[in-house]
Amino acid sequence: MSAEPRAEQRPQFRPVPKALKYIFGLGLGARAVLMSSHLAGWLQDRLELASPVTSWTRMTEGLSLLDHGISPYEGDMFHETPLVLMLFYCLSKIWGGLIPIFFLLVDLVTGCLVHEVGTNVCRHLLEKQGRHVKSYSTDSLSLLLTGKQLNSVPRLMLGAYLLNPLTIASCAAYSTTGLHNLVIAGALLAAVQGNRLLATLATAVASYQCVYPEIFIIPVAMYIAQREQQVNPKEDYVTSVLHTLLSYALWLSSLLFLSFLCFLSWDFFSATVGFVMLAPDLTPNMGLFWYFFTEMFEHFRIFFLCVFQLNAVFYVIPLAVKLRDHPMFHLHLLVGLTAVFKSYPTFGDAALFLSLLPVWGHCFKYMRNLFLVVCMWLYSIVLAPVLWHLWIYYGSANANFFYAVTLAYATAQIFLLTDLLYAFLRREFHLRHGPAPKEGQGMPILMNLK
């Protein structure tokens, strides 16, 4: 899927660059080694890597229930979508050894998709810069993007995805987070290519699979509408958005109907979407839900559930207003936002967002907390298993220790997101006003985010 559009755009044959070969080899090698080592079993039960939705243990449970002719959605064990279940069922029926290969392939393809996302977004940004360059300040030439990025950024993204220890561990744990990342990356790629049918289909698949990407449709619709306006300025913005939404709704409902056909019952809906939305499983994870909801009085539960879920999706509206001219950036921010605020996050979710960051590397100059974020991230990743072990196995620490780490992890991600937003806006400002704008008295301006 990823190779074909590339071939069309560049008819002449180009060998795969050496760096890519190394990244592929190293990434796949590390995954294969880790999968075959004795650590794999341990990783499968790591709550940081496998949530109740994506856990492989639950998937095997679902498969064996299916084998015995029982619908896996009748109990409270299985929360993956029916189509994925069917996919794994077919794989396990053909040959059990296909499953690790499948997981390797999923990560490989995700890597390729991320690479393509990088190429396409870079091209899109350059195009956009070309259109707007007249309105930029003459001093801010140094801030402009150059064609050089087109080469390095996608590779960096590929490396950031395939060589990230988090995705490697997540893949070795057979966590279906890899699959979720695949569909989200697919949605990003389809969106940036701007084909309405394809983009809405990919977004629908992503939202079918992971629920939260449903909010992606807003920036996607805006992006498509803007593209259409560029081609044909007479095109109506609102009509285009409505077309996109309609097409999305059709795709999504057909996917749901397809799932209905699998078991001829709607049980799966409450077990998948309902599970993610109502968050009944309060086993500790890296998210923010479990601690609050274990502490909470039962009659406040619905209220706070609404608050928490709204928190996860609400930012799409203010961002849509603020970033109305930059839907691509908006879309990428949403990937990060859902990775923090979703009800059952894992490290794998955050890893996808991390691998998208190099595209916005030109904004890093204006980021102020990057170092702090990196430190917090490292701390939480190292301390989470340690404190979990002390709490669960040794019984000497308690829930608060572990929760503190998840809080630090979430805070790091939120810092990263706000900082990236700030850096992006600030760069836009500097593009228009020059790299060192002066106040009335000739003093250098101080930027502030309040």
- What residues between 33 and 72 interact with other proteins by CB under 8 A? none
Nearer to other proteins by C-beta: 232 or 396?
Answer: 396
- What residues between 420 and 449 interact with other proteins by CB under 8 A? 446-449
Asked if 450 touches other proteins (CB under 8 A), the answer is yes
**How far apart are alpha carbons 155 and 337 in whole angstroms?**
24
Nearer to other proteins by C-beta: 260 or 379?
Answer: 379
Structural contact between residues 424 and 363, judged by C-beta atoms closer than 8 angstroms = yes
Q: How far is the CB of 205 from other proteins (least distance, A)?
A: 36
Q: How far is the CB of 325 from other proteins (least distance, A)?
A: 24
Nearer to other proteins by C-beta: 180 or 362?
Answer: 362
Asked if 388 touches other proteins (CB under 8 A), the answer is no
**How far apart are alpha carbons 143 and 61 in whole angstroms?**
54
Q: How far is the CB of 449 from other proteins (least distance, A)?
A: 5
Nearer to other proteins by C-beta: 41 or 130?
Answer: 41
- Among 260, 263, 314, 401, interactor with other proteins by CB under 8 A: 401
Contact mark string toward other proteins, 356..385, x via CB under 8 A = ------------xx-xx-xx--xx--xx--
Judged by CB under 8 A, how many residues of this single chain contact other proteins? 26
Contact mark string toward other proteins, 313..352, x via CB under 8 A = ----------------------------------------
- Among 393, 440, 442, 443, interactor with other proteins by CB under 8 A: 393
Structural contact between residues 54 and 80, judged by C-beta atoms closer than 8 angstroms = yes
Nearer to other proteins by C-beta: 44 or 152?
Answer: 152
Asked if 390 touches other proteins (CB under 8 A), the answer is yes
Nearer to other proteins by C-beta: 112 or 387?
Answer: 387
Q: How far is the CB of 236 from other proteins (least distance, A)?
A: 40
Q: How far is the CB of 375 from other proteins (least distance, A)?
A: 6
Nearer to other proteins by C-beta: 43 or 252?
Answer: 43
Q: How far is the CB of 446 from other proteins (least distance, A)?
A: 6
Nearer to other proteins by C-beta: 87 or 372?
Answer: 372
Asked if 415 touches other proteins (CB under 8 A), the answer is yes
Q: How far is the CB of 329 from other proteins (least distance, A)?
A: 20
Is the backbone of residue 434 left (phi > 0), alpha (psi -120 to 50) or beta? left
Interface positions with other proteins (CB under 8 A)? 368-369, 371-372, 374-375, 378-379, 382-383, 386-387, 389-390, 393-397, 401, 415, 446-450
